[in-house]
Amino acid sequence: MSHVNEPLARHVLGDWGTSRLRLWLIERGEVAATREGPGIGALTNPPGDTLAALVAPWRSASETLHVVLSGMAGSRTGLLETDYVPTAADFDRWSRAARLTRVHDMPVAVAAGLRDESRQHAPDVMRGEDTQIFGAMQLEPALRAGSHLFVLPGTHSKWVGIENGAIARINTALTGELFALLHDHSILLKAGSAENADSAEHDAGFDAGLKRSQHLPERLLAALFEVRTAQLLRGRSRAWASGFLSGLLIGDEIAGMSALHASIRDVVIVADAQLAGLYERALAARGIRSRRFDGGACALAGLRQLYESVRGEFS
Amino acid sequence: MSHVNEPLARHVLGDWGTSRLRLWLIERGEVAATREGPGIGALTNPPGDTLAALVAPWRSASETLHVVLSGMAGSRTGLLETDYVPTAADFDRWSRAARLTRVHDMPVAVAAGLRDESRQHAPDVMRGEDTQIFGAMQLEPALRAGSHLFVLPGTHSKWVGIENGAIARINTALTGELFALLHDHSILLKAGSAENADSAEHDAGFDAGLKRSQHLPERLLAALFEVRTAQLLRGRSRAWASGFLSGLLIGDEIAGMSALHASIRDVVIVADAQLAGLYERALAARGIRSRRFDGGACALAGLRQLYESVRGEFS
């Protein structure tokens, strides 16, 4: 329970993803300091030791520092494995599945993930995007009413259907991971040639890739080779080809999700500015309106709300 | 010109791909010996040095050994860059574009590639599959009449339309390369867990992947994550998941190519036995008949024919 007139305790909020940990120190309700650390997928030490070392400068002998973590902290390789709460789940249902543990004498609450079993073929899951979505609803309460479709692009792009404040459907597209694999390890981009930051070339390639994705009866696998032939036989630059690959993948992702969610008109993008910009352009190219929220701000808002919900458990 | 009554010269035929070089020593029209070497993509020494070292045991002081090579030997990073002959091209047109060079005092003929400019968006190319296709027509002359659709699965799966003996259309799908990247480097298959050769599990996964690919409105990017959730939440084995990934990709490749070639009824598969078997099953699952030719036998037949065509140039 939140007690509005009581000053909030000094505490730490953390968004622990696969590739990055972001920590916020909260004092009297304000962000007093931030730190970054390695993601769960990049750890060399046990996660508890990593966490303790990062927050050590913020600890004092006279008080107990509370910590709330979301994301991959709750995965099997994280700090403490938490449940995947079945959808549809609103904030209360999700937050109640958070679990408390102790790390180097600090009480740490670890958020649950979410699991969508509604799909015909296979379940879908997420950890961390839940916090950002509930955070967006904190930042804009109007999102708690009615139906909304969110996209949280990244290594694994999450498309999330919201119904009256509850997370109802999850669909993951492997877009970001596939882009990285194809960009860095395939024959598609000429090895060795530097991808000088020619953003005009990249933009032109991105738009060409988006356009190509609009009519793709032969499907993605048969179009990817064009990234190579455009360089080999059409003299396209590596920056153009990289943009083309990006546009082709993001465009195809949106085309597929549009087929699943037939009535898409508006999409809420939660991402950093650069990725949000690409998705805005890609959605606009298909006539879909979008609005954006900053991913970090949403994570922080969701973690604040989660702390309010679980702080009674710490004492 | 071939002179039927004249004993064929002692010569070497070679299929030089990205990942492997296969050499055949021909004596009096028969294969007298074979050797293997590194592909063009795996060379550490200049290609000419590699070739000379491999054929050295077959050379004698008293005669000039002729060599005919196809495939990536004619690429920019190969032995001698040869043209991409525009489609539609029959054997005569393609073989006339082979070029002669000398390597460590041996005369070497290097085959051309083929380039299809008929596509709306981008050209498509091949080097080496041409030789196998013309070889299949040597092995079965009936393939020289009428329309046929070939598939040559591999790192880059080539779908090739034949019209009256000429290679008319080329479409490349990145299936094999994408499978390897996702299998070895993505989060889809649990790292570290050994993929014990449980072929029953792999087969069951392959069939499930084929089935999944039959109705895929959300497209490939949104289905790949199921490889992971099947293991994470459904207890599927790594062998099953690997088979599922394979079936999903091959099934999606065939679905896309079926959309391009609307009237597919029969497909000619040119591949090794293991890959041919997977494509046979995948085609059958979509009601498409297929027949297979061994890739090595086709390469050898095509190279024999190419030697007959260019041998006059050697003298």
Spatial neighbors of B191 by CB under 8 A, at least 6 apart, are none
The answer to whether residue A11 scores a pLDDT higher than 90 is yes
pLDDT confidence of residue A2: 45
Which of B182, B187, B226 is opposite residue A122, by nearest beta carbon? B226
Average predicted confidence (pLDDT) for chain A: 93
pLDDT confidence of residue B4: 46
The answer to whether residue B237 scores a pLDDT higher than 90 is yes
Lowest mean pLDDT among B152-156, B202-206, B259-263: B259-263
Q: How far is B295 from chain A (nearest CA, A)?
A: 22
Give the mean model confidence (pLDDT) for residues B225-241.
Answer: 93
The answer to whether residue B212 scores a pLDDT higher than 80 is yes
Give the mean model confidence (pLDDT) for residues A131-153.
Answer: 97
pLDDT confidence of residue A281: 97
For residues A122 and B245, the answer to whether their CB atoms sit within 8 Å is no
Q: Do A234 and B178 touch (CB under 8 A)?
A: no
The answer to whether residue B142 scores a pLDDT higher than 60 is yes
Given CB atoms, is A212 within the 8 Å cutoff of chain B? Answer: yes
Give the mean model confidence (pLDDT) for residues A251-275.
Answer: 92
pLDDT confidence of residue A61: 85
Domains and CATH numbers, chain B: 11-153+296-314 (3.30.420.300), 173-294 (3.30.420.310)
pLDDT confidence of residue A198: 81
Select the residue from A216, A221, A234, A279 to test the B interface by mutation, using most B Cβ atoms within 10 A. A221
Q: Do B172 and A225 touch (CB under 8 A)?
A: yes
Q: How far is A93 from chain B (nearest CA, A)?
A: 21
Q: For residue A287, what are its two tokens?
A: 């006539």
- The reply to whether ipTM tops 0.90 is yes
Residue B296 confidence class, pLDDT cut points 50, 70, 90: very high
pLDDT confidence of residue A262: 78
B138-177 residues touching A, CB cutoff 8 A: 156, 159, 171-175, 177
For residues B110 and B69, the answer to whether their CB atoms sit within 8 Å is yes
For residues B290 and B280, the answer to whether their CB atoms sit within 8 Å is yes
Give the mean model confidence (pLDDT) for residues A211-229.
Answer: 95
pLDDT confidence of residue B122: 85
Q: Do B233 and A182 touch (CB under 8 A)?
A: no
Which of B125, B217, B220 is opposite residue A219, by nearest beta carbon? B220
The answer to whether residue B194 scores a pLDDT higher than 80 is no
Which of A187, A212, A252 is opposite residue B177, by nearest beta carbon? A187
pLDDT confidence of residue B248: 98
The answer to whether residue B193 scores a pLDDT higher than 60 is no
Give the mean model confidence (pLDDT) for residues A27-41.
Answer: 95
Neighbours of B198 (CB within 10 A): 16
Residue A264 confidence class, pLDDT cut points 50, 70, 90: confident
The answer to whether residue A1 scores a pLDDT higher than 50 is no
Q: Do A220 and B219 touch (CB under 8 A)?
A: yes
Residue A3 confidence class, pLDDT cut points 50, 70, 90: very low
pLDDT confidence of residue A114: 98
Given CB atoms, is B86 within the 8 Å cutoff of chain A? Answer: no
Query: How far is Cα B104 from Cα B52, in angstroms, rounded to an integer?
Result: 7
Given CB atoms, is B129 within the 8 Å cutoff of chain A? Answer: no
What interhelical angle do B238-260 and B175-185 show, nearest 10? 160
Task: Tell me if residue B309 falls in helix, strand or coil.
Answer: helix
DSSP for chain A reads ---TTSPPPPEEEEEE-SSEEEEEEEETTEEEEEEEEE-GGG-SS-HHHHHHHHHGGG--TTSPPEEEEEEGGGSTTSSS---EEESSB-HHHHHHT-EEEEETTEEEEE--EEEE--SSS--EEESSHHHHHHHHHHH-GGGGSSEEEEEE-SSSEEEEEEETTEEEEEEEE-HHHHHHHHHHHSSSS-TT------HHHHHHHHHHHHHHHHS-TTHHHHHTTHHHHHHHHH---HHHHHHHHHHHHHHHHHHHHHHHSTT--EEEEEE-HHHHHHHHHHHHHTT-EEEEEEHHHHHHHHHHHHHHHHHHHH-
Give the mean model confidence (pLDDT) for residues A287-308.
Answer: 97
Which chain A residues are Cβ-neighbours of B259 within 8 angstroms? Answer: 217-219
Which of B121, B223, B259 is opposite residue A212, by nearest beta carbon? B121
Give the mean model confidence (pLDDT) for residues A286-303.
Answer: 97
Which of A121, A156, A224 is opposite residue B226, by nearest beta carbon? A121
